[in-house]
Amino acid sequence: QFCPTKAEARRSAAKIALMNSVFNEHPSRRITDEFIEKSVSEALASFNGNREEADNPNTGIGAFRFMLESNKGKSMLEFQELMTVFQLLHWNGSLKAMRERQCSRQEVLAHYSHRALDDDIRNQMALDWVNREQNIPGALSRELAATERELDEARLAGKELRFHKEKKDILLLAAGQLGS
């Protein structure tokens, strides 16, 4: 809704966050065997996949199934946070680096499935961006500008903002470490 002041916007956002947290913690929003089967079937249909892909952990849909199964009983909110961690790892290049070190998907998923999005992960990713900036001057400012545009576009489109906000926070942390 339109809010004429920042204070009203904050109150409105707090109300929506409270409603979302209550809704997301409801027992019907837990990951169950039925939910996994339905989600995997929908993913197979969306990507014209076959049943063998869902059972093969080396495919995207198989990894999706593995993640859902390893989070059985958790709330959708908890799963969404985990997915944000993996989005950030992909964006940051960490998943690619792990693949180059011959880490299997299952090893990566097993390691990060139990990690929350915390200051340690943010600091580790910020250090990656500090190194990237030192190797390619200007990379950080270009990525920050692109991230701010993506954040604004997502906000205007009413999309989930967590991934974009976390990216921006990581990049600002890296900029602070560089002293710029």
Sign of CA dihedral 88, 138, 150, 5: positive
105-131 residue pLDDT tens = 778 877 887 777 889 999 999 999 999
Predicted model pTM = 0.74
68-87 residue pLDDT tens = 888 888 888 888 888 899 89
First to last CA, the chain: 36
Question: Are 113 and 71 in contact, with CB atoms under 8 Å apart?
Answer: yes
- Domain edges within the chain: 77-179
